């Protein structure tokens, strides 16, 4: 067992109101610069919808993530070294600016400086790329609130099965929710393995995936390889940039900007301990539907004395161990199992997980003529929710509807029980027992999901600068490549480049 620590995030989708505050504050912090106007390290997209960039989830087209070859070995979907070498100067699997959107500004000057005239002056849109007047025909969340959904949302790659026929975009029948996205800081990052220059790396101490700006040669293989399309090219510098998980804040024990400013208070940050020796095996799990369990099995119980001892041996400090025990992410992902990863079938083992949205369940009970106080009626309604289980399963469980139904039933039982308690009743524990929760656990989970305070939502231990020397030793102990060309066997196993944080090596998403 080789214990490592990773800072990870969970988002509770029931609470996202699609206000885009997270995106805007992230942009102000990281990409409010020439060359990355089109880039949203954090974006919020309406689902169903084609997302940003357009149809990024269609890996047949974009070739992102990992797949198993005929012998069951993990290989990059974008191809091996030779294919990547041959496409160095002409890579057909890159989104164009049309797939993102053409960033615009407005002729604000015209509003105050226009000469006296009969008509009121207007601020016309102008491309920030060309400086010329332009028409706005696409955006980073074009189907916001399902506007334009009848024309576009049907192209959502998640609407591919037979069941999708029942998804309608007529006003009375439709459903929507918001999906905030950022780099997943994957345990098995395809971007890192695809980089020919060794510029992309995963930090040993907290798992944050960064780009070394000095090493980046602008080959853009990372853009193709990332199935979430969360690496962007800065058109001014020609180098790759990406979400940094706000590492300077994380090192100071503070939450990321998107988390700090989230209006819905739906983001959680905390440590997960994992066994680095099991990452490659988990990512190569044969059946896609088993990937969720395989990834959960990589995570370690920080309360287990054996794990704690191994973590100490790996150089994880005592306050980090304590933070791992108090981690809201560990509670939601592993203890209560209500959070799910986005597209586990990409095999990157993503580390931003989601509590799926529970659309109005009591409405569904009413619509079926059921009794809201009868747990059987409430559970039955989960399969008739406005957001189809199949759709959520495409997003979070590689198509396994049973897992999604299980999570939604847990949330339903919790809601029903806490509703009774709030109304001054004892609370019927039958439904809780059916989903494997005790009354005490239900109250703990409810506190976490509904009323958790700042310090409960963000349990981020500060970095130990005095451990820099130990981290160097850890890097040297690490049986993976630390620079230059990825070594093929390790790439096949999906083990990423691991590197320590160094003050002297520029590391981050900005030039
Ligand atoms: S989500 Fe982030 S860490 Fe994962 S492959 Fe994409 S850029 Fe790399
Ligand atoms: S700030 Fe929070 S509530 Fe608003 S869009 Fe972002 S994640 Fe959703």
Nearest to 226, CA basis, from 213, 211, 212: 211
Structural domain count of the chain: 1
Best residue among 243, 266, 267 to mutate for probing ligand 2, ranked by most atoms within 8 Å of CB: 266
**Assigned domain for 436 exists:** yes
Does any ligand 1 atom lie closer than 6 A to the CB of residue 242?
Answer: yes
Binding-site residues, ligand 2, Cβ < 6 A: 16-22, 44, 178, 180, 262-264, 266
**Assigned domain for 82 exists:** no
Two tokens at 342?
């986005």
* Per-residue pLDDT reduced to its tens digit, 250-269: 999 999 999 999 999 999 99
Ligand 2 atom 4: residue of nearest CA: 19
pLDDT at position 296 is 98
Does any ligand 1 atom lie closer than 6 A to the CB of residue 43?
Answer: no
**Assigned domain for 188 exists:** no
Ligand 2 atom 2: residue of nearest CA: 262
In three-state secondary structure terms, 291 is helix
Instruction: Give CA–CA dist 277/324, Å, rounded.
Output: 19
Atom of ligand 2 nearest to the CA of 20: 5
Does any ligand 1 atom lie closer than 6 A to the CB of residue 226?
Answer: yes
Q: Residue 443: in which H helix or E strand, if any? A: helix 439-446
pTM of the model: 0.89
Torsions phi, psi for 240 (to 5 deg): -80, 145
| pLDDT mean over 301-312 | 97
* Per-residue pLDDT reduced to its tens digit, 355-373: 999 876 667 777 777 776 6
Q: For residue 44, what pLDDT band results from cuts at 50, 70 and 90?
A: very high
**Assigned domain for 420 exists:** yes
For the ranges 180-189, 216-225, 453-462, 486-495, the lowest mean pLDDT is seen at: 486-495
Atom of ligand 2 nearest to the CA of 23: 6
Kindly tell me if the per-residue pLDDT of 148 is higher than 80.
no
**Assigned domain for 410 exists:** yes
* Per-residue pLDDT reduced to its tens digit, 315-346: 999 999 999 999 999 999 999 999 999 999 99
Task: For residue 47, list its beta bridge partners.
Answer: 177
Best residue among 226, 229, 240, 352 to mutate for probing ligand 1, ranked by most atoms within 8 Å of CB: 226
Contacts of 341 (CB under 8 A, 6+ apart): 184, 292, 295, 349, 350, 352, 353, 354, 396
Taking the centre of ligand 2 as the mean of its atom positions, its distance from the CA of residue 448, in whole angstroms, is 18
- Tell me the CA end-to-end span of the chain in Å, nearest whole number: 37
Alpha carbon 268 to its chain centroid, in Å, reads 12
Q: DSSP assignment, residue 198? A: S
- Tokens 């601020």 — which residue? 123
Contacts of 452 (CB under 8 A, 6+ apart): 265, 268, 328
Ligand in nearest proximity to the CA of 187: 1
Taking the centre of ligand 2 as the mean of its atom positions, its distance from the CA of residue 24, in whole angstroms, is 10
* Contact of 7 with 245, CB cutoff 8 Å: yes
pLDDT at position 499 is 56
Instruction: Give CA–CA dist 427/417, Å, rounded.
Output: 5
Taking the centre of ligand 1 as the mean of its atom positions, its distance from the CA of residue 256, in whole angstroms, is 17
**Assigned domain for 444 exists:** yes
* Per-residue pLDDT reduced to its tens digit, 234-255: 999 999 999 999 999 999 999 9
Q: For residue 485, what pLDDT band results from cuts at 50, 70 and 90?
A: very low
Which domain, by its residues, includes 447? 264-457
In three-state secondary structure terms, 48 is coil
**Assigned domain for 339 exists:** yes
Torsions phi, psi for 284 (to 5 deg): -100, 15
**Residues 26-50: b if buried by 16+ CB within 10 A, e if exposed:** bbebbbeeebbbbbbbbbbbbbbbb
pLDDT at position 469 is 61
pLDDT at position 90 is 78
**Assigned domain for 351 exists:** yes
Domain containing residue 378: CATH number: 3.30.70
């Amino acid at each position: 067992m080789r214990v490592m620590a990773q800072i990870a995030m969970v988002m509770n989708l029931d609470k996202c109101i699609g206000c885009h505050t997270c995106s805007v504050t992230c942009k102000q912090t990281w990409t409010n610069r020439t060359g990355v106007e089109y880039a949203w390290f954090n974006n919020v997209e309406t689902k169903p919808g084609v997302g940003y960039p357009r149809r990024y989830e269609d890996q047949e087209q974009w070739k992102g993530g990992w797949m198993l070859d005929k012998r069951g070995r993990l290989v990059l979907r974008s191809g091996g070294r030779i294919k990547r070498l041959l496409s160095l100067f002409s890579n057909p699997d890159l989104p164009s600016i049309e797939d993102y959107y053409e960033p615009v500004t407005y002729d604000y000057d015209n509003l105050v400086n226009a000469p006296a005239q009969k008509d009121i002056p207007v601020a016309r849109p102008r491309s920030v790329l060309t400086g010329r007047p332009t028409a706005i025909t696409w955006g980073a969340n074009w189907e916001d609130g399902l506007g334009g959904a009848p024309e576009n949302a049907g192209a959502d790659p998640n609407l591919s099965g037979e069941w999708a026929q029942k998804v309608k975009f007529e006003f009375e029948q439709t459903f929507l929710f918001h999906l905030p996205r950022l780099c997943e800081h994957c345990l098995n990052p395809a971007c890192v393995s695809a980089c020919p220059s060794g510029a992309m790396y995963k930090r040993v101490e907290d798992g944050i995936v960064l780009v070394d700006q000095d090493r980046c040669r602008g080959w853009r293989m990372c853009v193709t390889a990332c199935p979430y399309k969360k690496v962007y090219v800065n058109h001014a510098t020609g180098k790759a940039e990406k979400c940094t998980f706000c590492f300077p804040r994380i090192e100071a024990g503070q939450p990321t900007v998107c988390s700090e400013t989230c209006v819905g208070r739906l983001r959680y940050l905390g440590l997960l301990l994992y066994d680095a020796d099991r990452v490659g095996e988990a990512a190569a799990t044969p059946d896609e539907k088993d990937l969720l369990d395989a990834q959960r099995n990589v995570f370690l119980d920080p309360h287990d004395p054996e794990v704690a001892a191994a973590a100490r041996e790996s150089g994880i400090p005592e306050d980090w161990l304590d933070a791992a025990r108090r981690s809201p992410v560990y509670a939601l992902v592993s203890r209560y199992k209500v959070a799910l990863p986005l597209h586990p079938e990409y095999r990157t083992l993503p580390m931003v997980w989601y509590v799926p949205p529970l659309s109005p369940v009591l409405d569904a009970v009413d619509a079926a003529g059921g009794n809201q106080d009868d747990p059987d009626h409430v559970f039955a309604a989960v399969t008739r929710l406005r957001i189809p289980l199949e759709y959520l399963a495409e997003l979070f469980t590689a198509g396994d509807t049973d897992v999604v139904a299980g999570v939604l039933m847990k949330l339903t039982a919790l809601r029903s029980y806490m509703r009774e308690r709030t109304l001054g009743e004892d609370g019927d524990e039958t439904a809780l027992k059916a989903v494997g929760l005790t009354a005490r656990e239900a109250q703990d989970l409810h506190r976490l999901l509904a009323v958790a305070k700042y310090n409960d939502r963000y349990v981020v231990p500060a970095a130990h600068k005095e451990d820099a020397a130990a981290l160097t030793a850890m890097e040297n102990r690490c049986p993976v490549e630390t620079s230059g060309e990825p070594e093929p066997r390790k790439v096949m196993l999906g083990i990423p480049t691991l590197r320590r944080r160094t003050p002297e090596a520029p590391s981050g998403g900005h030039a």
